[in-house]
């Protein structure tokens, strides 16, 4: 999962200082692994270099946290593109998918569409694996089945999340 894109999504909802950004990230997505400050500032300087964020205010004083960052139109376009693009279906996607859903809600984008697009992508791969399985030997069948069960679990999660979007939107925006 890309920290850069998560930062951009958080900045799109409002400009923030570095420490504020780290706190927002840790609260929403960090779970058991908070970001290191070094990671925060190296990510921000990369985003600055690519013109995806800009410094929209500097407070007097010392230390790296005097700067307040805002997203640029190129940054918004980057978030937009990332959210629209389905992830390549693979195991253990939940973290990325969850982040995408939360950021879509936070930035007022259609989260239901994002889930539907991902669902279609998952089923496309499931059909492909099923074709490979029915034409293959037992080893192929078992390997394909393993992937199919994981994809099915993802799909159930996508359905459950779609059914709870309103509730989640309330939490995220509240």
Partner 1 sequence: MMLSAVELTKSFGSTQALSGASMSIAAGEIVAVMGPSGSGKSTLLHCLAGIIRPDAGQVLYRDQELSAMSDGQRSALRRGEFGFVFQFGQLVPELTCLENVALPLRLDGHRRKDAQRRAAEWLDRLEITDVAGKRPGEVSGGQGQRVAVARALVTGARVVFADEPTGALDSLNGERVMRLFTDAARTSGAAVVLVTHEARVAAYADREIVVRDGKALDLARHA
Contacts to partner 1 by CB under 8 A: 86, 116-117, 119-124, 126-127, 129-130, 134, 148-149, 151-152, 155-156, 159, 163
Question: Among residues 48 and 162, whose Cβ is nearest to partner 1?
Answer: 162
By beta-carbon proximity to partner 1, the closer residue of 44 and 126 is 126
Nearer to partner 1 by C-beta: 37 or 149? 149
CB of 164 to partner 1, least distance (A): 12
Nearest residue to 29 (alpha-carbon basis) of 173, 157, 172: 172
User: Element (H or E) spanning 39, and its range?
Assistant: helix 37-49
User: Residue 110 CB, nearest distance to partner 1 (Å)?
Assistant: 12
Q: How far is the CB of 157 from partner 1 (least distance, A)?
A: 11
d(CA 168, CA 155): 18
SS3 content of the chain, % helix, strand, coil (to 5): 70, 5, 20
The first and second tokens of residue 103, run together, are: 């950021």
């Amino acid at each position: 999962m890309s920290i850069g894109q998560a930062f951009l999504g958080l900045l799109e909802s409002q400009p923030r200082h570095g420490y504020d950004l780290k706190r927002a990230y840790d609260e929403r997505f960090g779970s058991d692994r908070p970001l290191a400050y070094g990671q925060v500032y190296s990510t921000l300087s990369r985003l600055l270099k690519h013109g995806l964020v800009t410094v929209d205010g500097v407070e007097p004083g010392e230390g790296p946290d005097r700067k307040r960052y805002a997203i640029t139109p190129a940054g918004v376009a980057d978030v937009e593109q990332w959210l629209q693009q389905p992830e390549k279906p693979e195991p253990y996607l939940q973290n990325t998918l969850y982040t995408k859903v939360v950021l879509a809600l936070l930035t007022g984008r259609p989260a239901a569409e994002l889930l539907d697009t991902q669902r279609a992508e998952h089923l496309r791969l499931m059909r492909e694996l099923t074709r490979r399985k029915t034409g293959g030997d037992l080893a192929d069948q078992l390997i394909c089945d393993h992937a199919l069960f994981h994809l099915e679990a993802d799909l159930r999660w996508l359905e459950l999340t779609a059914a709870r979007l309103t509730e989640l939107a309330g939490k995220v925006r509240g």
